[in-house]
Every structure is written in structure tokens, then in C-alpha cells.
């Protein structure tokens, strides 16, 4: 964890930059609330980008069909007029309500926010990498066992094994080709859930002798003195031992409610119970919208989350400006909004 910074003050802090969190930021801007967004991942879009970017979505009002990636692109374009800060790659881990009823929120990277209300749009919780299920892996994590590639240069002239068969595994295998001294991709079967072009490029590299591909599962790691020397691969014909100094396991992401479970909220089945008149949780000033919200007959749909965010922010306004009465203006009559949108398209 990094050192704590000076607190960033804002009316609303939105936790989660999935589709619902992004749209919530737009609504906050329209209503006249300042807001900041924070997400544990290093890109926006939540499930849409992590789980099904190229699949079509057919049930967004007035958009007959778009891919999940296109939806996120449109949402990002929609918030552009408000120029909102988005803090990526930092999971929120603690929230604390002070005597003045404002909140202090901290991320794992040491960023601190001071806000009047919190909108939790955290989906199924933070996505965390699926870890290697071999006993030796935990002690080597961050040294020679990796669940992401932060800097390609760290793998220069190393013997590297990449494990996995999805887009991430294939993309990083191709990126490491020519960087690593020896490169092997290990996947449990000779079939991939990755872009056809990446699979074809990997196969060309194998045929050209630039890397190896081995079908099998990682069975154990050879690291007697805490330094990785090799990996044992189990396959239908037995086992094979491969020399390796670095192992990059890219098995995909799993959702984990994580620190939110510690925030003293009423939770049911891993979701936060809310009042459906304003999507406020059991802690006044803290709202839950999108997939993480629980109420009877809740539908985990993007359009439900948009509605929930809109109502939650109207209540959040009363925490940020308790003495001010907010006057509702339809967006079609909102001159300030029209000006912002026009300015954003001029700049683009
Ligand atoms: C394959 C598939 C197809 C789907 N198709 C449709 C469809 O056709 N139509 C439809 O309406 N819905 C569809 N859905 C559901 C839809 O994607 C979800 O309802 C939607 O993504 C929920 O949005 P969200 O913003 O609430 O959460 P998410 O998209 O899950 O985003 C939550 C974000 O919060 C972040 N986060 C969590 N905890 C923290 C923390 N502590 N600190 C910082 N960040 C945190 C996560 O990293 C994540 O980015 C589909 C889902 C899947 C899996």
C-alpha cells in the first residue's frame, strides 16, 4: 500500500466504472454534483469490457443493437462534457463516516477522498485474477509468479511460461515473443477462447521456432529455495518438466465482494440491500446501484442500473447541499447542459 495523499474533495464518489457507474457520473453532472470515479481495474467498462466486449446487446433503450464495447464507448462520450476524473487501477478498501457526516474513502494505492455521499456501483465486487492452484505459487507471487504483466522489460532474456488460453494469455504471449529468452505457452487443451488472429499468430510463431506451445495443466513448481527454476506440466501422457524463471498465469478474472463486505452494510447473498425509493443502503449517505444492489425482483440489467443511479443521485444531492432545493429541469430544457455538450463536441 502506498503512502496516503491529501484528500480529494467531491460531492459524490462513485465506486465502480462499469456501465452503471459511468452513467451515474453523467447523472451527477446533470444534477449539479461534482463527482469522481474510482475502479480497481485499469480500464473502464466493468463486465461489458472484461467479460463480453464483442457480444451484441439488444436491450438498451433506443439502441437496437450495439456491442458491449460500443456501449461503453458511447457512455464515455456522454460523460465527456463533464470532464470527470476517473481513478483506475485502485480498489477502494475502506470507508469511514466522520462526525460531520462526510465520508473518508481510501484506495489501496493511498488515494483519499472526502465526499458527502458514496455511490457503490461495484457490480459483483472487484475483479481479481484467478490464481494458480498449486501450493508453491503463493510464496512466489509478485516475484516469479505473475497474474499480469506490468512491464515487458522485466521479462527480458528470461525463460518465461505463459499459462492460459484466453485473449489476455494470447496477447501477452505475442507481446513477450522476442523479449523473453525462451517462451512457452501452456494451455489445458489445443483450443482457445481468444481472437482467431492472435491464435493464428501464436501458431505461426511456434512453426517458426520462436516459441513453444504445450498442452497440459500446471502441476507443481520447482522452487526449492524460493527461486523459480521450473514448472511440471501434467498431460494425458504423464508429466513434462520445463525450465522457467518466470510464470505468467492468465486464467481470467473472478469477482470478489472484497472489502465492501467489511463496510457494515446490510448485505444479502453478496449484494447490498437498498430502499427502492432512492437506492440508499442501510447506511445513510451510502447508495448501491447496478448489479450490486439487492431488492425484491431486482434484475441484473444495465437499464435497471441506469434508473437506480438516477434516483440515488437525487437523494445524494440532499447530503451534498442540505440547504439547497434542487429544481428539476428536463435535459431538453437544460441550457447549461446544452452548452457543455456543444463545447465537448467542438473540442472533439
Ligand atoms: C456475458 C454477459 C452478457 C450480458 N448481457 C447483457 C445484456 O444483453 N443486457 C443487459 O442489460 N445486461 C447484460 N449483462 C449484465 C450487465 O453486464 C450487468 O448488469 C452490468 O455490467 C452491471 O453493471 P455495473 O456497473 O453495476 O457493474 P459491473 O459492470 O460489474 O462493474 C463494476 C465495476 O466495479 C469495480 N469495483 C468493484 N469493487 C470495487 C472496489 N472495491 N473498488 C473499486 N472498484 C471496484 C469493478 O472492477 C468493475 O469494473 C450481461 C452480463 C454478462 C456477463
Q: To test the ligand 1 pocket, which listed residue (16, 51, 56, 286) has its Cβ within 8 A of the most ligand atoms?
A: 16
Q: To test the ligand 1 pocket, which listed residue (47, 76, 148, 291) has its Cβ within 8 A of the most ligand atoms?
A: 47
* Residues 156 and 179: beta-carbon distance below 8 Å: yes
pTM over 0.85: no
- As its CATH architecture, domain 131-251 has 3-Layer(bba) Sandwich (3.50)
The domain made up of 8-127+254-347 is a member of CATH 3.30.300.20: no
Write the residue with the smallest CA distance to atom 41 of ligand 1: 92
Q: Which residues of 220-236 are buried (b: 16+ CB within 10 A; e: fewer)?
A: bbebeeeebebbbbeee
- Residues touching ligand 1 (Cβ under 6 Å) are 15-21, 38-41, 46-48, 51-52, 57, 59, 91-92, 121-127, 258-260, 290-291, 300-303, 305
Write the residue with the smallest CA distance to atom 8 of ligand 1: 57
pLDDT of residue 2: 43
Specify the domain boundaries for CATH 3.50.50.60 within the chain: 8-127+254-347, 131-251
pLDDT digits (tens, 9 = 90+) for 140-175: 998 999 998 878 999 999 999 999 999 889 999 999
The closest-lying atom of ligand 1 relative to the alpha carbon of residue 305 is 26
Identify the weakest region by mean pLDDT among 181-190, 264-273, 311-320: 264-273
DSSP state, residue 90: -
What sections of the chain are H helices per DSSP? 19-31, 46-51, 68-79, 137-140, 167-176, 196-207, 302-320, 335-347
What is the pLDDT confidence band of residue 3, given thresholds at 50, 70 and 90? very low
Residue with cell 506451445: 213
Q: How many residues does the structure list for the chain?
A: 348
* Residues 73 and 79: beta-carbon distance below 8 Å: no
pLDDT digits (tens, 9 = 90+) for 252-295: 888 778 889 999 999 988 899 999 999 999 999 999 999 999 99
Rounded distance from Cα 18 to ligand 1 centre (Å) = 5
What sections of 152-273 are H helices per DSSP? 167-176, 196-207
Amino acid at each position: 500500500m502506498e503512502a496516503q495523499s491529501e484528500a480529494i474533495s467531491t460531492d459524490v464518489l462513485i465506486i465502480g466504472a462499469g456501465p452503471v457507474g459511468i452513467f451515474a457520473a453523467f447523472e451527477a453532472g446533470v444534477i449539479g454534483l461534482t463527482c469522481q470515479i474510482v475502479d480497481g481495474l485499469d480500464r473502464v467498462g466493468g463486465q461489458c469490457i472484461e467479460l463480453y466486449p464483442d457480444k451484441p446487446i439488444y436491450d438498451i433503450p433506443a439502441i437496437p443493437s450495439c456491442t458491449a464495447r460500443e456501449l461503453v464507448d458511447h457512455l464515455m462520450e456522454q460523460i465527456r462534457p463533464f470532464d470527470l476524473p476517473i481513478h483506475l487501477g485502485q480498489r477502494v478498501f475502506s470507508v469511514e463516516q466522520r462526525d460531520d457526516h462526510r465520508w473518508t474513502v481510501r484506495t489501496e494505492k493511498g488515494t483519499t477522498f472526502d465526499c458527502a455521499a458514496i455511490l457503490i456501483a461495484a457490480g459483483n465486487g472487484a475483479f481479481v485474477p484467478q490464481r494458480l492452484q498449486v501450493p508453491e505459487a503463493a510464496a512466489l507471487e509478485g516475484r516469479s509468479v505473475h497474474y499480469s504483466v506490468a512491464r515487458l522489460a522485466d521479462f527480458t532474456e528470461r525463460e518465461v511460461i505463459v499459462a492460459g488460453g484466453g485473449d489476455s494469455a494470447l496477447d501477452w504471449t505475442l507481446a513477450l515473443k522476442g523479449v523473453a529468452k525462451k517462451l512457452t505457452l501452456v494451455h489445458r487443451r489445443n483450443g482457445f477462447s481468444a481472437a482467431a488472429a492472435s491464435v493464428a499468430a501464436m501458431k505461426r510463431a511456434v512453426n517458426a521456432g520462436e516459441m513453444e506451445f504445450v498442452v497440459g495443466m500446471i502441476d507443481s513448481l520447482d522452487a526449492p529455495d524460493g527461486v523459480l527454476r521450473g514448472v511440471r506440466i501434467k498431460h494425458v501422457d504423464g508429466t513434462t518438466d520445463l525450465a522457467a524463471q518466470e510464470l505468467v498465469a492468465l486464467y481470467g478474472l473472478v469477482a470478489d465482494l472484497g472489502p465492501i463486505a467489511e463496510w457494515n452494510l446490510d448485505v444479502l447473498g453478496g449484494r447490498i440491500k437498498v430502499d427502492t425509493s432512492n437506492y440508499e443502503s442501510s447506511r445513510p449517505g451510502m447508495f448501491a446501484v447496478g448489479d450490486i444492489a439487492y431488492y425484491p425482483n431486482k434484475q441484473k440489467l444495465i437499464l435497471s442500473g441506469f434508473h437506480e443511479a438516477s434516483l440515488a443521485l437525487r437523494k445524494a444531492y440532499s447530503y451534498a447541499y442540505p440547504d439547497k432545493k434542487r429544481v428539476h429541469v428536463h435535459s431538453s430544457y437544460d441550457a447549461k447542459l446544452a452548452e457543455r455538450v456543444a463545447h465537448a463536441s467542438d473540442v472533439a
